[in-house]
Amino acid sequence: MNTNQIQIKFLNTKEVKSNDSFLPEYATSGSSALDLKACISKKIILPAKEVVLVPTGISIYIENPYITALILPRSGLGHKDGIVLGNLVGLIDSDYQGELMISLWNRSVKDFFIYPNNRIAQIVFVPIIRPKFSIVKKFKKTARFKSGFGHSGI
């Protein structure tokens, strides 16, 4: 198993039309995440303050249990148009093989239009640590101990 190879399958071949325009792709050579695109045949209206599920037309199979994929919002859509993910972050387990569906939430007061092949989210692959837990009666005390929520100042 090559840890840098992820299997990808086209699900909506009618929309893909035997080209790779719906494939996730890196926008630049320095991009950490690949852009995911709307695999739709006509525009979708995302009403103000509403959530819509948008198909990508692809499924992936990561296979390696020490890798996961995170679906993240595109910063420009969030900042300029108020379009973020309905679940804030999507987590794709290594054994999931269903279609990647993107839950888009329009936080703005204006309707937003999604067109075929629009870049709607991004996917990044990250390593996973699967720890084993040991039950203890108490922890070794640290300087921080139980301090949280603003303990280090603003």
pTM for the model: 0.84
Q: In this predicted structure, what is the pLDDT of residue 122?
A: 98
Closest by CA position to 53, among listed 97, 23, 86: 86
Fold of 7-127: Deoxyuridine 5'-Triphosphate Nucleotidohydrolase; Chain A (2.70.40)
**For residues 81 and 62, what is the distance between their CA atoms, to the nearest angstrom?**
32
- Which parts of the chain register pLDDT below 50? 1, 18
Binding residues: 74-76, 87, 91-93
pLDDT for the residue numbered 17: 54
Per-residue model confidence as pLDDT tens digits over 103-135: 999 999 999 999 999 999 999 999 999 999 999
Q: Could you tell me which residues are annotated as the binding site for substrate?
A: 74-76, 87, 91-93
Q: Cα–Cα distances in Å, from 40 out to 14, 72, 87, 133? A: 10, 20, 21, 45
